[in-house]
Amino acid sequence: QVQLVESGGGLVQPGGSLRLSCAASGSIFRVYTMGWYWQGPGKQRELVAVISSDGITNYADSVKGRFTISRDNAKNTVDLQMNSLKPEDTAVYYCNAVIWERVRGTANYWGQGTQVTVSS
């Protein structure tokens, strides 16, 4: 069974930085797109950033120039470096990955979510 485990959330002041990490584990044959989504209070879950298996990235307009997504294909991990954080970045951040699991085939997986709060 595949699992995505996130770490790195917390409380940070406006203008500060945080780094989120996510590790995929289990019976993995191949990991395709990996990404991060956020969900603010009373809002729908939305894309923050995604990265393909060959390193092509895409970002939400609101985070371009501030956030950087990266991955380690050998370790099946994806990170999100968040700089110049703003109060409106406050949300639960979810790791997402499209994974070819050895028995079940290809499916979309989610982490449990990690809270990021930007406040003074």
Q: Name which of 10, 7, 8 is nearest 119 in CA terms.
A: 10
Question: What per-residue confidence (pLDDT) applies to 41?
Answer: 86
Question: What per-residue confidence (pLDDT) applies to 35?
Answer: 98
Question: What per-residue confidence (pLDDT) applies to 75?
Answer: 97
- Average pLDDT of adjacent 10-residue blocks, the chain of 120 residues: 95 98 96 97 95 97 98 97 97 98 93 97
Which H, E and C letters describe the chain, residue by residue?
CCEEEEECCEEECCCCCEEEEEEEECCEEEEEEEEEEEECCCCCCEEEEEECCCCCEEECHHHCCCEEEEEECCCCEEEEEECCCCHHHCEEEEEEEEEEECCCEEEEEECCCEEEEECC
